């Protein structure tokens, strides 16, 4: 775990590791977002197998903060979960780097 400016950050490899109340930093954003809800959905692969995809709703604690839903990436051909995450819906495009933040506002 890295310590910088009296705050510890831990990289999140799977959204399944998040719990309500966690604070996470997304990419190079300076303000952390709060985990509001966690859940999962079933995703069907091309071969008909099913896999669980974990999701989390993230929101800032400031006025007019945008709510985002982030999910583990699932390869639709193989069902593999490569350890990366993406925003769903209106969130920024591409993979995101999630880091749990402790002891910081």
Q: Which two tokens stand for residue 45?
A: 């692969």
| pLDDT, tens digit, 9 for 90 and up, residues 58-87 | 999 888 888 999 999 988 888 888 888 999
Domain range summary for the chain, segments of one domain joined by +: 2-102
Q: Which pLDDT belongs to residue 1?
A: 43
Per-residue pLDDT at 44 exceeds 50: yes
| pLDDT, tens digit, 9 for 90 and up, residues 6-33 | 357 889 999 999 999 999 998 888 899 9
């Amino acid at each position: 775990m890295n310590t910088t400016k009296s705050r510890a950050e831990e990289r999140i490899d799977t959204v399944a590791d998040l719990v309500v109340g966690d604070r996470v930093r997304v990419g190079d954003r300076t303000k952390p977002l709060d985990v509001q809800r966690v859940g999962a959905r079933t995703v069907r692969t091309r071969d008909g197998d099913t896999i669980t995809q974990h999701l989390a709703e993230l929101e800032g604690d400031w006025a007019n903060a945008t709510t985002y839903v982030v999910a583990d990436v699932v390869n639709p051909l193989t069902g593999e979960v490569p350890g990366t995450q993406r925003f769903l819906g209106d969130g920024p495009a591409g993979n995101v780097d999630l880091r749990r933040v402790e002891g910081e506002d």
